[in-house]
């Protein structure tokens, strides 16, 4: 069914975890995007390389598979070989609210981009939470400043808030409600069932889940996760090599207002 000229559909996928998540994405995304009639695809890639970080090769394959924008989070810094691509790519993002530093210590990349799909300009913003993570710049103030800067240039705006705290995610959602099309949470890898349209028209969900192995502990080997909990030893986590599922949300955005009319959770079990 062709897209409605008055609305735009955005498919946003949760953290890609390791080789199982990559396989599920590379094989399943093209058909899934067609079936859902998605105009725009956004995916969080910070865990795609063996569970921690992202490589240029995986990023390029994600884009070739139909992803328009790659967002990330605190693990984007794990693979230094991604730094040059972060610096040059228009559609590979790291959280915007890292410190602003000039000179040789400048942090590579940026946390926002504008993409055009169906002649519609969409602002994508990547932010990171501060609760149980690094003490970064205030994501609320950074987000508001970006929206003020670009609001007149875009028809829609989508925020990937990569954060650990539920109350921090909900607070940011309420602060940006009415100013963006959607605020979607990533990072915890567990899809929540609280998707809704907020009072002023922005779609919200605490976490869109992960694209990774289902029979696991947040994508990692079960035995190691259990042993870490029992012993409190900092054992190295490794990706569980099992069947993966694509998880995320499908948004429908009213282009006359830039606000959401629908948010639907997506779960698609891979066949590879």
DSSP per-residue letters across 132-195: TS---S-HHHHHHHHHHHHGGG-SEEEEEEE-S-HHHHHHHHHHHBTTBSEEEEESS----S--
Q: How far apart are CA 246 and CA 31, in angstroms?
A: 12
- Bridge partners (DSSP) of residue 10 are 40, 251
- Bridge partners (DSSP) of residue 260 are 253
- Bridge partners (DSSP) of residue 123 are 114, 157
Is 189 noted as a catalytic residue in this protein?
A: no
Residue burial 215-230, b: 16+ Cβ < 10 Å; e: rest: ebbbbbbeeebeebee
- Cα-Cα end-to-end distance for the chain: 27
Residue 13 parent element (H or E):
strand 7-13
Q: How far apart are CA 241 and CA 219, in angstroms?
A: 9
Active-site annotation holder among 68, 75, 162, 187:
75
Q: How far apart are CA 154 and CA 198, in angstroms?
A: 21
Among left, alpha and beta (phi > 0; psi -120 to 50; other), residue 173 is alpha
CA 171, chain centre distance (Å): 18
Alpha-carbon separation of residue 94 from 54, 71, 194 (angstroms):
11, 6, 26
Report the catalytic residues. Answer: 75
């Amino acid at each position: 069914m062709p897209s409605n000229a008055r609305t735009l559909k955005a498919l946003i996928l949760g953290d890609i975890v390791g080789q199982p998540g990559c396989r599920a994405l590379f094989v399943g995304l093209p058909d899934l995007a067609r079936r859902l009639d998605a105009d725009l695809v956004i995916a969080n890639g910070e865990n795609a390389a063996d569970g921690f970080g992202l490589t240029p090769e995986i990023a390029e394959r994600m884009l070739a598979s139909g992803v328009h924008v790659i967002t990330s989070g605190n693990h984007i810094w794990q693979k230094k070989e991604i730094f040059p691509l972060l610096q040059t790519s228009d559609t590979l993002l790291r959280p915007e609210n890292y410190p602003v530093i000039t000179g040789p210590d400048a942090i590579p990349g940026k946390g926002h981009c504008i993409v055009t799909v169906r002649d519609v300009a969409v602002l994508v913003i990547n932010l990171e939470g501060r609760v149980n993570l690094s003490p970064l710049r205030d994501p609320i103030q950074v987000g508001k400043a970006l929206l003020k800067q670009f609001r007149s240039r875009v028809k829609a705006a989508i925020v990937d808030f990569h954060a650990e705290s539920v109350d921090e995610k909900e607070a940011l959602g309420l602060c940006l409600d009415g100013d963006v099309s959607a605020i979607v949470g990533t990072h915890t890898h567990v899809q929540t069932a609280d998707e809704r349209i907020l009072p002023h028209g922005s779609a919200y969900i605490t976490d869109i889940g992960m694209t990774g192995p289902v029979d696991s502990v947040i994508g990692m080997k079960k035995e190691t996760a259990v042993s870490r909990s029992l012993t409190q030893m900092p054992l190295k986590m490794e990706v569980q090599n099992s069947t993966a599922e694509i998880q995320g949300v499908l948004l429908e955005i009213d282009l006359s207002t830039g606000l959401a009319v629908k948010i639907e959770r997506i779960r698609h079990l891979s066949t590879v």
